[in-house]
Each structure stands twice: as structure tokens, then as C-alpha cells.
Amino acid sequence: MTSRGHDPIAIALAEDIGDGDITSVTFVPEHLRASARVLAREKGIIAGTSVATKVFRRVDKDLQIAVLRKDGEELAPGDIVMEIKGKARSLLTAERVALNFLQRLSGIATLTHQFVQAAANSRVKIIDTRKTTPGLRQFEKAAVLAGGGKNHRFGLYDMVLVKDNHLAMTPGVSGLAQKIREIRKAHPKMKIELEADNLEQVRAFMEVPGVDIILLDNMTPALLREAVAMRNNHIKFEASGGINLKNVRRVAATGVDYISVGALTHSAQAIDFSLEMTHGE
């Protein structure tokens, strides 16, 4: 099952507007026109401008929108991100949902950028996980890209990742090899990754045909180096677990190819934005 047919913007607007924006309808004349600017209130990396644009257009297709800062650009406090012109009611009704998406997605892009900078190793890719906000994965993974990171699998359907609980249900390495042969036959181009908790598993997995990536779970930098030293074919290595801004450079220096960080999407701090309005256009 994929996210096709799922509309996060429609859900967010319905959640906020409900039966109508009573405050704006009551206090703002129907035909009053206004101009608005979306400003950054703190330093960060912008993401989600296309989502915010869609929010405003869903509320009122006649709004005039100019995006002044592209996703992935650095922001300073006071920078103008977007300018919108049109009915004042429409601007007020769309404001909160548009800013909610901007602040959340820019927070993810900013944290991703910090990890990329801290790793200080262009050969290593900082990648995300499936630890995303339910319903917002497509937007959050796009924000990771805006921050300079890369995407891991999108869901359960586009890549195989055999974790410890899967292995516990599989009868040994021979059984694992048989299952991988079955996957290769049914899905020839699909990436296959195995999770290893120790060097013994790494050695065993290196001998299993058809494996593309070995995930080195919660290993120290010393163990990561030992695992990478075993490389004897096309297999890539991914480090995961317990990685933060303080230790990511040491992990990147071990020779792994990927560093996956769940915090990119589950623990990013929102970047603050505001919308300022003036009468007329």
C-alpha cells in the first residue's frame, strides 16, 4: 500500500477550517484585499515552499504568490520567503496551515544540513528513515533532500530491509539465502539490505548472494572500521543507531557508505516563520 490518493494538504485544511473561518468572516470584509509576506524569524534552511503555495491556492486559486527563496537555501532572521496578494480573508484562513508545513519541513531541512556539515565527509551520505510523521512522509523526505541528505526507502514496498525481528523468524543463514533468491526472482531490481548486530553476522551476511547493503546497528566506531575492513565485493555499509551531531564525524570517518539518522524526521525542531499583512495590494 502506498500514499497514492492520500492528500495531506486537504486533511490539514479540513482539520483547521472545519465548517468555516468564523473569525475572519466576522471581522474582515469579504472583498477587502491585502498583501502578505512570509518571513523567517530565525536562521535555518528553507523547505516546503511548494507545499505552502499549494495550501494558499487550495484556499483561494486567485491568490497571487511569489516564492522568493528556493528550498535548500539558507535563511537569516527577517528574510522574506514568500509574498502573497489577494483577498484578506483567504490569506488569514490559509496562514496557519501554510506556516505549519513551512516550520516543520524547514526544521527537518535545517537539522539534515547540520548533520551533513558535521559529518564533514562528502563521500558518506546522510540518509533518513521511516520514522516520519504519519501522512507527511512525502513532504518530510523532500525536506531531507533540501537539507543536503539522501532518502532511504520510502516504504515497505520499494526496498527489502531484513531486521533482527525478521531474522528471528527465519531458519538460519541457509533459509535467509533461499528467501533472498526468491526476492531476486520476483523483484530483480530491488535493493536488499540486512541488519547486523555484530561482526559475526557481518561475516555471515557477506557470504549471502544477492545482498546489496549491510546495516551495522549500534556499533562503535572501532567495530564499524572492522566491519568495513571485511568488504570484499560490491556490498555497501550503513551505520545506524545512537548517531548524533557530536559523533557523526567519527562515524563518517570509519569508511561506511551511509549514515541513517531517524532524528532527521522524528526530532527536528521547527523553524519559526511569521506572516505579516498590510491593506491593499
pLDDT for residue 1? 39
CB 108 within 8 A of CB 61: no
In a domain, 97, yes or no: yes
pLDDT 10s digits, 115-124: 999 999 999 9
Strand partners, 182: none
With a cut of 80, say whether residue 132 has pLDDT above it: yes
Q: pLDDT class for 175, splitting at 50, 70, 90? A: confident
Measure the CA–CA gap between 174 and 155, rounded to whole angstroms.
27
CB 212 within 8 A of CB 258: no
Same domain as 150, residue 25: no
Same domain as 230, residue 273: no
With a cut of 70, say whether residue 94 has pLDDT above it: yes
Measure the CA–CA gap between 175 and 168, rounded to whole angstroms.
11
Q: What is the arithmetic mean of pLDDT over 258-267?
A: 97
Q: pLDDT class for 2, splitting at 50, 70, 90? A: very low
pLDDT 10s digits, 210-233: 999 999 999 999 999 999 999 988
In a domain, 3, yes or no: no
Q: What is the arithmetic mean of pLDDT over 264-278?
A: 97
Q: Edge-to-edge strands of the sheet including 273-279?
A: 64-67, 80-87, 33-40, 273-279
Domain that holds residue 94: 8-115+269-279
Same domain as 79, residue 142: no
In a domain, 39, yes or no: yes
In a domain, 212, yes or no: yes
With a cut of 80, say whether residue 172 has pLDDT above it: no
In a domain, 191, yes or no: yes
Domain count, the chain: 2
Catalytic residues: 96, 131, 163, 195, 217
Q: What is the arithmetic mean of pLDDT over 250-267?
A: 97
With a cut of 70, say whether residue 267 has pLDDT above it: yes
3-state DSSP assignment of residue 126: strand
Helix axes 88-119, 137-146, angle to 10 degrees: 60
Measure the CA–CA gap between 158 and 148, rounded to whole angstroms.
22
CB 132 within 8 A of CB 264: no
- CATH number at 33 reads 3.90.1170.20
State the residue for C-alpha cell 535548500: 72
pLDDT for residue 281? 64
pLDDT 10s digits, 3-40: 555 899 999 999 999 999 999 999 999 999 999 999 99
